Each structure stands twice: as structure tokens, then as C-alpha cells.
Amino acid sequence: MVRAIIGVAGGLVAWIVAATIGNLVLRAALSGYSQVEPSMNFTPGMMIARLLVGAAASLFAGFSAAWITRRRGRAVTVLAVLLPVLFIPVHYQLWQNFPVWYHLVFFASLVVLTLLGALAFPRGIDRVGAAE
């Protein structure tokens, strides 16, 4: 149970770290991104880039939770449900700033890609790479 709680918390931290790093990369790599970020007036290309960052963060979060818990599915499932729940208030406030497709893709990717990220962690391998 403790490992499951740590796995969920670790997955959340992993998501935040990956998304933060990804957002810093977007600021540096996409011309004009930093200027429109405060107003959230993104171009379609910028929105897709943001979704890709979120996708990578979800994959990393799922993998991290699986690594911490040694791929115990319940913890990963809790993480995959918790992520969208945590983002509902944020996207409610941002609803007018983005098209509906953006919100739908983002929320679907939180669940699906978190679960897929966990599947990337091999069965029967513990955290240091030795067989269990």
C-alpha cells in the first residue's frame, strides 16, 4: 500500500517535472511562444506542441509510477484517473482559451498515455534492473 501511494505521488511529480521541462523547451524553441503564453493566444501549431508535451509527460508519469510500484496496475490506474481530475478545474478556467478538440485530446491523453507509459516498464524487472 505504501509503495502504491509513493508510486502515485511519484507519477504526479514526474508529470509536473516533464511538463515543466517541456514548457521551457517550447519557450526556447518556438518563436513567439513566450509572448503569447500569458494571454494563452496560441497558434494551432503551438497548441499541438503543448499537447505533445502533455503526452510525453503522461507517458513519463505512467512509466515512473510503474517503476516505483514494480508495475502494480492499481496505482497506475489511480494515477490515470487522478490526473484528469486534477486538471478539471484548470481547464474549466481555460475553457474559452482553447477549442473543444484541444481539451478532449488533452484529457484523453492523460488517461491513455499514462496507462501506455506504465506498459513500457517491463514485467518481472525490479527498480534496479535485476529479475525478481
Domain-by-domain residue ranges, the chain?
Answer: 2-119
User: For 22-31, which contacts have Cβ atoms below 8 Å and span 24 or more sequence positions?
Assistant: 22/52, 22/53, 22/54, 22/56, 22/57, 23/50, 23/53, 25/53, 26/50, 26/53
The rounded distance, in Å, linking the Cα atoms of 73 and 77 is 6
Predicted model pTM: 0.88
pLDDT at 131: 45
Residue 129 pLDDT > 80: no
Q: Which range has the top average pLDDT, 66-80, 81-95, 111-125?
A: 81-95
Kindly state the average pLDDT of the residues 13-33.
Answer: 97
Give me the count of residues in the chain.
132
Question: What does the pLDDT average to over 38-57?
Answer: 96
